[in-house]
Amino acid sequence: MSGAENNIHLHEMFHIAGGNFTNAGSISSQVKKILKEAGFSSRVIRRTSIATFEAEMNVICYASRGNLSLFITPDFLKIVVEDEGIGIPDVDLAMQEGYSTASERIHELGFGAGMGLSNIKNNTDGMILTSKFGQGTHLEFLISLEGEDKSVPLLNAGG
């Protein structure tokens, strides 16, 4: 781990507007594009895109606003999503497959199966979800780059 901190490269931070279903998925698409252009493997891109899409949707569906940051290090990708909003009163319950508080409107748009957070868990190599009820939610997850081609240019670009 030592030395890795020096190589952390904040690639980009994106703003997510709560309730804005018109642009739903645009941030995960942008993250996907960055990773594609950087030359990461399709496995890393797929896992990151799935988890990022679910995280983005949850801010759109349940929060007032949020920021999603992508960090790239030689050993892992890290996504941090912080939002302001109602927060999650019971994180363990929210993590359960099928649990959802989605409104009628969200269901009509095809979301609200209660699978997003477990989808994030299943497609990442570590996830932390914390929330202050009434204030907001902090989610972060890692995608390991073990076995990835170390000649990916971004990893050598320096911070």
What residue ranges bind Mg ion (CB under 5 A)? 58, 116
59 binds, among Mg ion, ligand ATP, none (CB under 5 to 8 A by kind): ligand ATP
Residues 6+ apart with CB under 8 A from 51: 79, 119, 120, 123, 124, 141, 143
Whichever of 24 and 38 has its CB closer to ligand ATP, that residue is 24
**C-beta of 54 vs 148, nearer to ligand ATP:** 54
Closest residue by beta carbon to ligand ATP: 116
For residues 66 and 152, which CB has a smaller minimum distance to ligand ATP in the complex?
Answer: 66
Element (H, E) at 80: strand 76-85
Provide the binding-site residues for ligand ATP, judged by CB under 6 A: 54, 58-59, 61-63, 83, 85-88, 94, 99-102, 111-117, 137
Tokens 């997003």 map to which residue?
A: 116
Q: How far is the CB of 152 from ligand ATP (least distance, A)?
A: 30
Measured CA to CA, the distance from residue 14 to residue 28 in angstroms comes to 10
Question: Contact at 8 Å (CB) between 99 and 114?
Answer: yes
